Structure 1
Amino acid sequence: MIFGGRAMAPGGDETAPVAEQLPGNQQASESPEPSAEVLKEKSMEELVQAYHDLPLMDAHNHNAAGGKYRSMIPKWDESGVDRIVLFGAVSEPAAEATDETAWEAYQNNPDRFIPFTSGINLLEQAGLDKLRKNLERGYFGLGEIAAASQYSPALAQVEWKTEHPMDGILPEIYALCAEYQAPVLLHIDPLNGTPVSKLQEALAAYPDTTFILAHANVFNSPGNLEAWLEAYPNLYADFFAGFTVFNPESANVLEDFIPVIRKFPDRIVLSTDSGFGLSSEELAIEAMYRLIDKLDDSELAERIAYSNMNGLIERQPATRTQLEKIRGLGGEDDSGLDLATLSKREAGEWLIRNGKEG
């Protein structure tokens, strides 16, 4: 997540990210209204209507915090957001509770919610054990986690953050995520200096791990993003279009990033970051549609809006814990199940349908 006012380090440049706060403790600066230029474009209603057949997934959403996801369901329905990667607090003990809230949402509606776990202590061995337990249980990824944060008034002091992306137990975490084919969503600030060099070290050392760089377009140049994606095929970019469209602190416009998106069509995912720093989450959803509209390419739009993130979910195999539960419920006698090829998603949905936690 990001914050609406820039926090510059001594000697920092315009690529340094803004400070960050968590849901429920937001103190964002006053959010701008859409510019006159934006108002001349299609309305939100027109965009939703134009792309109503396009599946749309929010790849980074904090609305497990405070159970806000419940009040967002009608808004997601109205705006055509089909699925949500859901978590809450970041790299602190409070995230353990929001992990459970995300799990509850998934249990009640597995077609819409994809739970990630962010309540992991990144500094102690117990965190690795907890992550394995959660991935075995059926969580689909790790994140958002604070892999580096120097300037955020919230994340710079969270109890479980690391100093850089190779600190603490992160190397062991990356190996574990590769074992489960689960992606890891990293918050990194600033996006320069040691945090970036250590990210590059991690990307090179763990080529079988899928890294998603959170809000990769925020206080970052298209050139930087292109270079990193070019160098590291295991890196994905979480694109928070709401920042680029509606936050006056952005030095770029959507058109600046479109060549990068076209060059790496399989490694960009779209997100709202729960509308952080904007006057509403709906603006962040609108910005996703504005990017889709500017692409003018239905195949590319479908990839970044849905298929890229969905592919990271669908590839994950059923876990040993899930398979043991299914066998215990007589799943081996279900002619519709092939336990040898069952995915984590399929296993979770079967368990939910059969009254056993997914």
Structure 2
Amino acid sequence: MLHSAKGRVLTVLALLLILTGIGLWLAEKTRGRNLPADNGISASIHPTTGNGAAAVSPSTGKKSLSQLVEEYGSLGLTDVHNHGASGSYEAMLGVWPRLKVSRVVLFGDVSEPSAVRTDAVAWEAYQAHPEQIIPFFSGFDLHSPDSLNTVRDNLEKGYMGLGEIAAASTYSPVVSKVLWKADHPMDGYLPQIYALCAEYRAPILLHIDPTSGRPVEKLEEALRLYPDTAFIFGHINAYNSPEAIESLMEKHTNLYADFFAGFTAFNPESSNKLEDFLPLIRKFPDRVLLSTDSGYGLPYGETTAIEAMYRVLDLLKDEPQLVQKLAHDNFDALIRQVPATKKQLKDLETKGIRPAADKALTKLEAGKLLADNK
């Protein structure tokens, strides 16, 4: 009996030593990142400063994420490209407020039948969080005439825009395989869809790869033929040069750049640094939009992508007006003045809600009223 008890004690001590070693290894691996408190997703393994104070990473000398949030969190950061309706948005609901992401353009799957379901999830998220969520959709077969009915119905219902739409994809390991992708940005019923976007003043976010050759030639055709449509080129900086982007944006004032800062800052496949894009951002201060792409391809995912957005703002800290535009105002300008739809106004009337006679409701205002009075 005595020998048995002694053996158990030695076993427990050995286990404690092993666990302590693992803990020290994890601490060393994660030291210096200083991310927010446990959020239930991949970022949860990172330590905080304990007292919440801003700090500089000892490993890089750069500002920590908590310090960036403290400095720029009041700007109302908007993420214009988020796939959270595919399953991650509920986990992020507690993270976004901590990281001061005030608004998220939410959608899910891209140009395939499953996107019909994730479009519905984006709408439900918007109904539950109308101040925080901007719903987009992509669940329609752009090779079918029925797509035109879907687009009109969804825009009438209150969706704010279209995206992410697979307008061309050859190399993406995900988008190149989706069932409803286009061969190029003028394929199928996309031209008529662009016309509907102009009618409803709804932006359309396109996935295009490669970022050269025929796909971009056809994008330029669309930009010329539909000058009243706001085209957002998704993650335009991924596998693309500042010079190529500048050439496109110079020629087409209806083209907006979805800048996936996380790719440039943290993806080893990027051949550029964030600093390389600053002249481009300064040249087109009203048409660059920041996004996370839900952290696709990044270590620690979306949290890392949000950090990269803040790092762009920090690089431009001496230009506060430009920082405000990037963080919030550029996307806000795309959707803030869009009028309420006929369906929204009819639904409000059905609920007995009558807006002031001297005030024309916007789509955002009508949507919030409807969500608040479900």
* TM-score bucket of the superposed structures, by smaller chain: 0.7 to 0.9
The residue aligned with 1:44 is 65
**Equivalent residue letter for 1:168:** G
Structure (1 or 2) with the larger CA radius of gyration: 2
Structure 1 gap ranges (5+): 1-35
Q: Does residue 109 of the first structure (1) align with residue 129 of the second (2)?
A: yes
Structure 1 distance, partners of 2:76, 2:91, is: 21
The Cα shift of 1:208 comes to 0.3
The residue aligned with 2:38 is none
1:300 maps to which of 318, 322, 329: 322
**Equivalent residue letter for 1:53:** S
SS class of match (2:361): coil
The residue aligned with 2:361 is 342
**Equivalent residue letter for 1:300:** L
Structure 2 gap ranges (5+): 1-56
The residue aligned with 2:264 is 244
SS class of match (1:159): coil
The Cα shift of 1:339 comes to 7.7
The Cα shift of 1:38 comes to 8.0
1:222 maps to which of 242, 249, 252: 242
**Pairing 1:154-233 to 2, within 5 Å after superposition:** 154-233=174-253
What RMSD, in angstroms, separates the aligned Cα atoms of the two structures?
1.4
1:181 touches 1:315 (CA, 8 Å); kept in 2? no
Structure 1 distance, partners of 2:67, 2:350, is: 50
The Cα shift of 1:37 comes to 10
Of the structure 1 ranges 157-166 and 85-94, higher mean CA displacement relative to structure 2 is found in 157-166
Structure 2 distance, partners of 1:316, 1:202, is: 22
Deviation digits for residues 238-266 of structure 1 (CA, Å, limit 9, x no counterpart): 00000000011111111110011001100
With over 3 angstroms needed to count, the CA separation of the structure-2 counterparts of 1:37 and 1:308, relative to structure 1, is farther
Specify which structure has the bigger relative contact order, considering alpha-carbon pairs within 8 angstroms and separated by 6 or more residues. 1
Structure 1 distance, partners of 2:242, 2:74, is: 29
With over 3 angstroms needed to count, the CA separation of the structure-2 counterparts of 1:55 and 1:194, relative to structure 1, is same
The Cα shift of 1:43 comes to 0.6
Deviation digits for residues 219-276 of structure 1 (CA, Å, limit 9, x no counterpart): 1110111111110000000000000000111111111100110011000000000000
SS class of match (1:161): coil
The residue aligned with 1:70 is 90
With over 3 angstroms needed to count, the CA separation of the structure-2 counterparts of 1:206 and 1:159, relative to structure 1, is same
2:305 maps to which of 269, 276, 284: 284
The residue aligned with 2:114 is 94
With over 3 angstroms needed to count, the CA separation of the structure-2 counterparts of 1:338 and 1:183, relative to structure 1, is farther
2:73 touches 2:101 (CA, 8 Å); kept in 1? no
With over 3 angstroms needed to count, the CA separation of the structure-2 counterparts of 1:331 and 1:103, relative to structure 1, is same
The residue aligned with 1:19 is none
**Pairing 1:72-151 to 2, within 5 Å after superposition:** 72-151=92-171
1:118 touches 1:144 (CA, 8 Å); kept in 2? yes
The Cα shift of 1:340 comes to 6.2
Q: Does residue 256 of the first structure (1) align with residue 276 of the second (2)?
A: yes
The residue aligned with 2:344 is 322
Structure 2 distance, partners of 1:258, 1:203, is: 24
Deviation digits for residues 174-197 of structure 1 (CA, Å, limit 9, x no counterpart): 000000000000000001110000
The Cα shift of 1:112 comes to 0.3
Q: Which has the higher helix share?
A: 2
Structure 2 distance, partners of 1:181, 1:139, is: 11
2:166 touches 2:206 (CA, 8 Å); kept in 1? yes
Structure 2 distance, partners of 1:314, 1:252, is: 33
